[in-house]
Amino acid sequence: MVEAGEINYNYKFIDRSAINTLLKQSNGCDDIVMVKDGMITDTSYANIIVRGNDGIWYTPSGFLLRGTKREYLLNNGLIRELDITPACLKKFRELRLINTMLDIDDTDSIPISTICF
């Protein structure tokens, strides 16, 4: 988990230098979970969804890139938006990554316990 600071990535850019700089803080982890203004946003290449104990998938209401897959899943009622802080992330069971090429079931579940806080 890394603090994203003032990063702005509202649109997909060719220049990912700000994200690449944040990736250098991964401390040997596979990827980073970015935090901006105290809220979980995205990883370096995907939006995030987390499953609660209620079985419902949630996506952070704050994000760096809106994401077409994220919007599709929201519009079809398959996920819900929620403010997710690093502290409340521990209340969820699992995390998955989604993007244009990755649907909910296309990636392995990442146990919350494996995320370095």
What CATH number is given to the structural domain containing 25? 3.20.10.10
The rounded distance, in Å, linking the Cα atoms of 108 and 96 is: 7
**97 and 43 Cβ atoms separated by less than 8 Å:** yes
The helix (run of H) or strand (run of E) holding residue 23 is helix 17-23
Residues 26-71 pLDDT 10s: 888 889 999 999 999 999 889 999 999 999 999 999 888 888 999 9
Number of domains in the chain: 1
Phi-psi region of 28 (alpha: psi -120 to 50; beta: other; left: phi over 0): left
Burial class of residue 77 in the structure, from the number of CB atoms within 10 Å of its CB (0-12 exposed, 13-18 middle, 19+ buried)? exposed
Name beta bridge partners: 80.
58
Residues 19-30 pLDDT 10s: 888 888 888 888
Per-residue pLDDT at 115 = 84
Could you count the other beta carbons within 10 Å of the beta carbon of residue 114? 10
* Domain interval for residue 40: 2-114
